[in-house]
Amino acid sequence: MGRIYNFSAGPAVLPEEVLKSAAEEMLDYRGTGMSVMEMSHRSKAYGQIIAEAEADLRDLLGIPDNYKVLFLQGGASQQFAMIPMNLMKNKSADYIITGQWAKKAAQEAEKYGKVNRIASSEDKTYSYIPDCSDLPISEDADYVYICENNTIYGTKYKELPNTKGKTLVADVSSCFLSEPMDVAKYGIVYGGVQKNIGPAGTVIVIIREDLITEDVLPGTPTMLTYKIHADAESLYNTPPAYGIYICGKVFKWLKGMGGLEVMKERNEKKAKLLYDFLDQSRLFKGTVVPKDRSLMNVPFVTGDADLDAKFVRESKAAGFENLKGHRTVGGMRASIYNAMPYEGVEALVAFMKKFEEENL
């Protein structure tokens, strides 16, 4: 059986070239006689893999010199605790609640200090991004936290919040490297890589150097201290070595594609195809306010739960995998990350048209 179109929200589709190249190097990585999986993380060969991955990521995003890049474990969810443990000097932080992931991050931070929920879109099932131009930012807030692309609800900040001088912390798991970003606007940018970059098990944290201190909350585990990992160049203990290797290949693939400006254009073109279809469809409709639509995650419904279920069933049989919406929202969701080809979205739209004709 060949490869299918995989619209999973994560772990998600990866570039075929990357998978092929990893397969070629599986038994013997460049004359070392072993797989990267079997290699010491202190070896010369591995040292080169992680250093090159970091250099390529810095290149892609234009990361300023006063930012560290950390390759860590524990997924994005572990950062929900690590961020307050390391940043809550005043034991206070502002959170903007735009979906499940921001909500979970706020709940976790509450274990360590005061959490001020300064805006939320929960009133309309997180179908929009609140106006963040003049929020009641707390005087004593150590940081302002956002989830920049909401994987489940399909919204994305098109403009960053006005933090009134406070440090901005952003979870970019599901929009990482989908378009250029100005890292200098953030204190921390982080993401689990299994959405748009690599295999599950690695989380990338880009953190401004002045936020890396020994002054962390009492009881913070060594492994959850940014300074420990920053000082050791992500090699304090065994890192998620194979995952970092695959991320490195994806960074090279992105550079080969022409970089993040080109990816942005491709992603806009892909998303437009699907959104334009949804906007004129008499059966399907997108669930997000148009101005806040994500380029990566596209939720849609027919308005009839049975018909939704039929669509998911028939699409699966036709070779479109993982189109079922998140269990908390129902309906459908197409995740169209960097590695989803334009042809995949074209084929999906053609299938939706046919389904519409048959079921109206």
Ligand X SMILES: *Cc1c(COP(=O)(O)O)cnc(C)c1O
Cβ proximity of 133 and 109 under 8 Å: no
Q: Which of 267, 289, 329, 297 is nearest to 129 (CA)?
A: 289
Q: Across the chain, how many H-helices and E-strands are there?
A: 9, 14
- 336/152 Cα distance (integer angstroms): 13
Q: Which is nearer to ligand X, 264 or 326 (CB)?
A: 326
**Secondary structure of residue 253 in the 3-state scheme:** helix
Residues facing 71 on adjacent strands: 204
* Least CB distance to ligand X at residue 156 (A): 11
- Which one from 171, 249, 270, 308 is the annotated catalytic residue? 171
- Which one from 101, 142, 292, 324 is the annotated catalytic residue? 101
Q: Which is nearer to ligand X, 32 or 73 (CB)?
A: 73
Sign of CA dihedral 80, 160, 259, 54: negative
253 catalytic residue (yes or no)? no
Q: Which is nearer to ligand X, 53 or 175 (CB)?
A: 175
The amino acid at 195 = K
- 71/206 Cα distance (integer angstroms): 9
Q: What is the dihedral of CA 19, 197, 108, 98, to 10 degrees?
A: -130
- 231/248 Cα distance (integer angstroms): 21
Q: Which is nearer to ligand X, 21 or 77 (CB)?
A: 77
Q: Which residues bind ligand X (CB under 6 A)?
A: 10, 75-77, 101, 147, 151, 171, 173-174, 192, 195
* Least CB distance to ligand X at residue 235 (A): 21
Q: Which is nearer to ligand X, 142 or 171 (CB)?
A: 171
* Least CB distance to ligand X at residue 178 (A): 12
* Least CB distance to ligand X at residue 243 (A): 11
Q: Which is nearer to ligand X, 119 or 352 (CB)?
A: 119
- 67/345 Cα distance (integer angstroms): 36
**Secondary structure of residue 68 in the 3-state scheme:** strand
101 catalytic residue (yes or no)? yes
57 contacts: CB under 8 Å, gap ≥ 6 = 63, 69, 204, 247, 251
Report the residue closest to ligand X, judged by CB. 75
Q: What is the dihedral of CA 221, 219, 76, 255, to 10 degrees?
A: -60
- Which one from 68, 195, 270, 324 is the annotated catalytic residue? 195
272 catalytic residue (yes or no)? no
* Least CB distance to ligand X at residue 226 (A): 17
Q: Which residues are catalytic?
A: 101, 171, 195
